[in-house]
C-alpha cells in the first residue's frame, strides 16, 4: 500500500512540463468560458498526482508514458519538490472548486485560478517551478529537513563539483 501512495523520484521534467501545459490550458479555458465544472478534473488531477504520482492521474500517466518519450531524452529532476508543488496545486484547486462550484463565488474562484497562470506558465514554458522554489526556501529555513530530499540539499552533483 505504501508503494501505491508514492511519488516518483526522480521525475522526468518533460512529463512535469507537459502536465503544467495542460493545467495551464484548462485553467485558461475555465476562466474564459466560465465552465467551473472543469475544476473537478483539475482538482482531481492535483490530488491524484500528489497522492500517487502519475498512477491515478490520467494526465500524469499520458504525459509520462506517451508525450514525454516523444520529446527526446529524459531530463530528471528531484521528486520531492515536484510533489510539494502538486500539494500547493491541490490546495489551491480545492479552494477554487469549493468557491466556484459549491459556494458559487466565481470571483474568488477566478482569483485562485489566476494563481495557476504564472505558476503553470513558468513551469510549462521555461521549466521554472515556483512550488519547487518554495520547497528550496523551506529547506534553507530548516522547515523541511535535508533528509526529505538529499539531492536538493547537496547541489554539488548538479554543479559538477566533487564531494569531499
Kindly give the confidence (pLDDT) of every residue in the chain, 164 residues in length, as a single tens digit, with 9 standing for 90 and above. 778 888 989 999 999 999 999 999 999 999 999 999 999 999 999 999 999 999 999 999 999 999 999 999 999 999 999 999 999 999 999 999 999 999 999 999 999 999 999 999 999 999 999 999 999 999 999 999 988 888 786 654 544 544 44
| Whole-angstrom distance, CA of residue 58 vs CA of residue 99 | 25
Ramachandran area for residue 75 (φ above 0: left; ψ -120 to 50: alpha; else beta): beta
- Residue 147 burial by CB count (10 A; 0-12/13-18/19+): exposed, middle or buried? exposed
Instruction: Identify the pLDDT of residue 84.
Output: 97
Nearest to 96 by CA among 44, 21, 136: 44
Environment class of 99 (CB within 10 Å of its CB; exposed 0-12, middle 13-18, buried 19+): buried
Count the helices and strands in the chain (H runs, E runs).
9, 2
- Identify the pLDDT of residue 102: 94
pLDDT for position 162 = 46
Distance, in Å, from the CA atom of 82 to the CA atom of 127, rounded to the nearest integer, reads: 11
Three-state secondary-structure class, residue 94:
helix
Per-residue confidence (pLDDT) for residue 159, from 0 to 100: 45
pLDDT score for 150: 84
Amino acid at each position: 500500500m505504501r508503494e501505491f501512495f508514492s511519488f516518483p523520484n526522480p521525475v522526468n521534467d518533460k512529463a512535469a512540463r507537459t502536465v503544467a501545459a495542460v493545467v495551464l490550458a484548462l485553467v485558461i479555458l475555465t476562466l474564459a468560458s466560465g465552465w467551473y465544472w472543469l475544476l473537478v478534473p483539475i482538482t482531481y488531477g492535483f490530488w491524484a498526482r500528489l497522492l500517487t504520482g502519475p498512477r491515478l492521474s490520467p494526465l500524469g500517466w499520458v504525459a509520462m508514458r506517451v508525450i514525454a518519450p516523444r520529446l527526446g531524452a529524459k531530463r530528471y529532476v528531484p521528486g520531492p519538490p515536484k510533489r510539494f508543488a502538486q500539494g500547493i496545486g491541490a490546495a489551491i484547486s480545492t479552494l477554487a472548486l469549493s468557491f466556484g462550484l459549491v459556494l458559487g463565488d466565481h470571483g474568488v474562484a477566478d482569483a485562485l485560478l489566476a494563481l495557476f497562470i504564472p505558476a503553470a506558465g513558468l513551469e510549462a514554458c521555461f521549466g521554472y517551478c515556483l512550488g519547487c522554489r518554495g520547497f528550496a526556501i523551506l529547506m534553507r529555513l530548516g522547515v523541511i529537513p535535508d533528509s526529505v530530499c538529499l539531492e536538493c540539499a547537496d547541489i554539488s552533483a548538479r554543479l559538477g563539483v566533487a564531494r569531499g
